[in-house]
Amino acid sequence: MTDTQKIVIAIDGPAASGKGSLARTLAAQFGYDFLDTGALYRRVALKCIENDIKPEEIDKITTVSADLSQNLHEKYDDSTLRNDKIGDMASIVAQIPQIRRNLDDFQRNFAKSAKKGAVLDGRDIGTVICPEADIKFFITASIEKRAERRTLELQSRGIEAKQSTVLAEMRERDLRDSIRLNEHLKPDHDCHVIDTSDMTPQEVLDTATKIIKDRS
Protein backbone atom coordinates (compact mmCIF):
# COMPACT_ATOMS: atom_id res chain seq x y z
CA MET A 1 0.00 0.00 0.00
CA THR A 2 1.06 3.61 -0.55
CA ASP A 3 1.22 4.20 3.22
CA THR A 4 0.01 2.40 6.32
CA GLN A 5 -3.45 3.94 6.22
CA LYS A 6 -4.33 4.60 2.66
CA ILE A 7 -5.31 2.38 -0.23
CA VAL A 8 -5.89 3.27 -3.87
CA ILE A 9 -8.07 0.94 -5.95
CA ALA A 10 -8.11 1.26 -9.75
CA ILE A 11 -11.05 -0.24 -11.62
CA ASP A 12 -10.96 -0.32 -15.41
CA GLY A 13 -13.01 -2.02 -18.08
CA PRO A 14 -15.32 -1.48 -21.03
CA ALA A 15 -18.78 0.12 -21.03
CA ALA A 16 -21.52 -1.72 -19.12
CA SER A 17 -19.10 -4.27 -17.67
CA GLY A 18 -20.36 -3.53 -14.16
CA LYS A 19 -17.24 -1.58 -13.12
CA GLY A 20 -19.18 1.54 -12.12
CA SER A 21 -21.55 -0.17 -9.68
CA LEU A 22 -18.71 -2.24 -8.28
CA ALA A 23 -16.54 0.84 -7.73
CA ARG A 24 -19.35 2.80 -6.08
CA THR A 25 -20.36 -0.08 -3.80
CA LEU A 26 -16.78 -0.90 -2.78
CA ALA A 27 -16.12 2.74 -1.92
CA ALA A 28 -19.28 2.93 0.21
CA GLN A 29 -18.51 -0.38 1.88
CA PHE A 30 -14.94 0.52 2.88
CA GLY A 31 -15.57 4.25 3.46
CA TYR A 32 -13.25 5.29 0.63
CA ASP A 33 -13.61 8.29 -1.69
CA PHE A 34 -15.04 7.46 -5.10
CA LEU A 35 -14.37 9.02 -8.50
CA ASP A 36 -16.23 8.05 -11.68
CA THR A 37 -13.68 9.34 -14.20
CA GLY A 38 -16.03 8.73 -17.14
CA ALA A 39 -18.17 11.51 -15.67
CA LEU A 40 -15.29 13.97 -16.21
CA TYR A 41 -15.24 13.19 -19.95
CA ARG A 42 -19.03 13.34 -19.95
CA ARG A 43 -18.94 16.81 -18.36
CA VAL A 44 -16.64 18.03 -21.14
CA ALA A 45 -19.03 16.42 -23.66
CA LEU A 46 -22.09 18.07 -22.12
CA LYS A 47 -20.47 21.51 -22.24
CA CYS A 48 -19.60 20.95 -25.90
CA ILE A 49 -23.16 19.90 -26.72
CA GLU A 50 -24.60 22.88 -24.81
CA ASN A 51 -22.33 25.23 -26.74
CA ASP A 52 -22.99 23.52 -30.06
CA ILE A 53 -19.31 22.62 -30.44
CA LYS A 54 -18.69 19.96 -33.08
CA PRO A 55 -16.30 16.98 -32.61
CA GLU A 56 -13.90 18.42 -35.19
CA GLU A 57 -13.55 21.78 -33.35
CA ILE A 58 -10.62 20.56 -31.31
CA ASP A 59 -9.43 24.01 -30.16
CA LYS A 60 -12.85 24.82 -28.74
CA ILE A 61 -13.12 21.43 -27.02
CA THR A 62 -9.67 21.93 -25.54
CA THR A 63 -10.69 25.34 -24.17
CA VAL A 64 -13.84 23.82 -22.66
CA SER A 65 -11.82 21.08 -20.93
CA ALA A 66 -9.17 23.52 -19.70
CA ASP A 67 -11.86 25.77 -18.16
CA LEU A 68 -13.70 22.82 -16.68
CA SER A 69 -10.54 21.35 -15.19
CA GLN A 70 -10.44 24.36 -12.82
CA ASN A 71 -13.92 23.57 -11.47
CA LEU A 72 -13.98 19.81 -11.30
CA HIS A 73 -13.85 19.78 -7.49
CA GLU A 74 -17.30 21.45 -7.32
CA LYS A 75 -20.18 19.07 -6.54
CA TYR A 76 -22.06 17.97 -9.63
CA ASP A 77 -25.23 15.94 -10.26
CA ASP A 78 -23.79 13.13 -12.39
CA SER A 79 -27.22 11.62 -13.10
CA THR A 80 -27.77 14.28 -15.79
CA LEU A 81 -24.76 12.90 -17.70
CA ARG A 82 -25.90 9.33 -18.20
CA ASN A 83 -27.41 9.29 -21.63
CA ASP A 84 -26.08 7.93 -24.92
CA LYS A 85 -25.78 11.29 -26.68
CA ILE A 86 -23.40 12.52 -23.98
CA GLY A 87 -21.69 9.10 -23.81
CA ASP A 88 -20.95 9.18 -27.54
CA MET A 89 -19.60 12.71 -27.44
CA ALA A 90 -17.53 11.77 -24.35
CA SER A 91 -16.01 8.89 -26.26
CA ILE A 92 -15.08 11.28 -29.07
CA VAL A 93 -13.59 14.05 -26.90
CA ALA A 94 -11.65 11.41 -24.93
CA GLN A 95 -9.70 10.67 -28.12
CA ILE A 96 -8.03 14.08 -28.00
CA PRO A 97 -4.71 13.76 -26.11
CA GLN A 98 -4.87 17.35 -24.78
CA ILE A 99 -8.31 16.71 -23.27
CA ARG A 100 -6.92 13.68 -21.45
CA ARG A 101 -3.99 15.74 -20.18
CA ASN A 102 -6.33 18.47 -18.95
CA LEU A 103 -8.19 15.93 -16.83
CA ASP A 104 -5.17 13.98 -15.56
CA ASP A 105 -4.13 16.22 -12.67
CA PHE A 106 -7.55 16.26 -11.11
CA GLN A 107 -7.72 12.46 -11.15
CA ARG A 108 -4.22 12.02 -9.75
CA ASN A 109 -4.80 14.60 -7.01
CA PHE A 110 -8.07 12.94 -6.12
CA ALA A 111 -6.27 9.65 -5.48
CA LYS A 112 -3.41 11.37 -3.68
CA SER A 113 -5.51 13.51 -1.36
CA ALA A 114 -7.91 10.81 -0.16
CA LYS A 115 -7.53 10.28 3.58
CA LYS A 116 -8.51 6.64 4.05
CA GLY A 117 -8.67 5.36 0.50
CA ALA A 118 -9.81 6.09 -3.03
CA VAL A 119 -11.60 4.05 -5.66
CA LEU A 120 -11.36 5.37 -9.22
CA ASP A 121 -13.13 3.77 -12.15
CA GLY A 122 -12.42 4.39 -15.81
CA ARG A 123 -10.43 3.09 -18.74
CA ASP A 124 -6.82 3.97 -17.97
CA ILE A 125 -6.69 4.22 -14.18
CA GLY A 126 -4.41 1.27 -13.51
CA THR A 127 -2.21 1.98 -16.53
CA VAL A 128 -1.91 5.79 -16.76
CA ILE A 129 -3.55 7.67 -13.88
CA CYS A 130 -2.60 5.48 -10.91
CA PRO A 131 -0.05 2.92 -12.13
CA GLU A 132 1.03 2.59 -8.50
CA ALA A 133 -2.47 1.69 -7.28
CA ASP A 134 -2.49 -0.85 -4.48
CA ILE A 135 -5.13 -3.00 -6.14
CA LYS A 136 -6.14 -3.01 -9.80
CA PHE A 137 -9.24 -4.62 -11.21
CA PHE A 138 -10.15 -5.11 -14.84
CA ILE A 139 -13.89 -5.76 -15.02
CA THR A 140 -15.14 -7.22 -18.25
CA ALA A 141 -18.04 -9.16 -19.79
CA SER A 142 -19.00 -10.40 -23.23
CA ILE A 143 -20.31 -7.69 -25.54
CA GLU A 144 -23.65 -9.50 -25.84
CA LYS A 145 -24.07 -9.51 -22.07
CA ARG A 146 -23.07 -5.87 -21.80
CA ALA A 147 -25.54 -4.90 -24.52
CA GLU A 148 -28.28 -6.87 -22.76
CA ARG A 149 -27.55 -5.09 -19.47
CA ARG A 150 -27.45 -1.66 -21.10
CA THR A 151 -30.76 -2.34 -22.88
CA LEU A 152 -32.45 -3.37 -19.63
CA GLU A 153 -31.00 -0.35 -17.85
CA LEU A 154 -32.31 2.04 -20.51
CA GLN A 155 -35.72 0.36 -20.51
CA SER A 156 -35.91 0.55 -16.72
CA ARG A 157 -35.41 4.31 -17.08
CA GLY A 158 -38.34 4.47 -19.50
CA ILE A 159 -36.10 4.89 -22.55
CA GLU A 160 -37.05 2.89 -25.64
CA ALA A 161 -34.17 0.54 -26.50
CA LYS A 162 -33.68 -2.38 -28.86
CA GLN A 163 -30.95 -4.83 -27.96
CA SER A 164 -29.65 -5.22 -31.54
CA THR A 165 -29.25 -1.43 -31.86
CA VAL A 166 -27.58 -1.15 -28.46
CA LEU A 167 -25.23 -3.99 -29.44
CA ALA A 168 -24.25 -2.29 -32.71
CA GLU A 169 -23.63 1.04 -30.94
CA MET A 170 -21.61 -0.70 -28.27
CA ARG A 171 -19.39 -2.34 -30.89
CA GLU A 172 -18.75 1.08 -32.37
CA ARG A 173 -17.96 2.58 -28.94
CA ASP A 174 -15.68 -0.33 -28.01
CA LEU A 175 -13.80 0.11 -31.26
CA ARG A 176 -13.38 3.86 -30.76
CA ASP A 177 -12.30 3.44 -27.12
CA SER A 178 -9.83 0.68 -27.98
CA ILE A 179 -8.25 2.50 -30.92
CA ARG A 180 -7.59 5.54 -28.77
CA LEU A 181 -6.53 3.82 -25.61
CA ASN A 182 -4.76 0.96 -27.42
CA GLU A 183 -2.67 -0.86 -24.85
CA HIS A 184 -4.14 1.17 -21.96
CA LEU A 185 -7.55 -0.44 -22.29
CA LYS A 186 -6.09 -3.89 -21.89
CA PRO A 187 -5.70 -5.39 -18.44
CA ASP A 188 -2.41 -4.41 -16.85
CA HIS A 189 -0.09 -7.33 -15.99
CA ASP A 190 -0.70 -6.91 -12.26
CA CYS A 191 -4.47 -6.52 -12.25
CA HIS A 192 -7.25 -8.85 -11.17
CA VAL A 193 -9.44 -9.65 -14.15
CA ILE A 194 -13.07 -10.41 -13.32
CA ASP A 195 -15.33 -11.57 -16.14
CA THR A 196 -18.81 -10.69 -14.92
CA SER A 197 -20.69 -12.28 -17.86
CA ASP A 198 -22.17 -15.03 -15.72
CA MET A 199 -22.00 -13.35 -12.33
CA THR A 200 -24.56 -11.43 -10.30
CA PRO A 201 -23.54 -7.98 -8.99
CA GLN A 202 -23.36 -9.52 -5.50
CA GLU A 203 -20.96 -12.22 -6.69
CA VAL A 204 -18.77 -9.59 -8.33
CA LEU A 205 -18.79 -7.54 -5.13
CA ASP A 206 -17.96 -10.58 -2.99
CA THR A 207 -15.07 -11.56 -5.29
CA ALA A 208 -13.58 -8.05 -5.25
CA THR A 209 -14.13 -7.65 -1.49
CA LYS A 210 -12.27 -10.89 -0.81
CA ILE A 211 -9.33 -9.75 -2.94
CA ILE A 212 -9.17 -6.43 -1.05
CA LYS A 213 -9.45 -8.05 2.37
CA ASP A 214 -6.85 -10.69 1.53
CA ARG A 215 -4.51 -7.89 0.49
CA SER A 216 -4.92 -5.92 3.79
| Interface residues toward ligand DC, by CB under 6 A | 15, 37-38, 41-42, 87, 90-91, 94, 122-124, 173, 177
Residue 139 Cβ vs ligand DC, minimum distance, rounded to whole Å: 11
CB of 149 to ligand DC, least distance (A): 13
Name the β-bridge partners of 33. Answer: 118
- Please identify, using beta-carbon distances, which residue of 50 and 214 lies nearer to ligand DC: 50
Quote the least distance from Cβ 83 to ligand DC, whole Å. Answer: 11
Q: What is the DSSP secondary-structure string of 180-198?
A: HHGGGGSPPTTSEEEE-TT
β partners of residue 119: 9, 34
Select the residue whose beta carbon is closest to ligand DC and give its number. 38
The distance of closest approach from Cβ of residue 98 to ligand DC in the complex, given in angstroms and rounded to an integer, is 13
Complex with ligand DC: residue 124 or 188, whichever CB lies closer: 124
For residue 120, what is the enclosing H or E element?
A: strand 117-122
Residue nearer to ligand DC on the CB measure, 117 or 177: 177
Kindly tell me which of 159 and 210 has the beta carbon lying closer to ligand DC.
159
Phi/psi zone of residue 199: left (φ > 0), alpha (ψ -120 to 50 degrees), beta?
Answer: beta
| Alpha carbon distances (Å) from 213 to 3, 82, 187 | 16, 32, 21
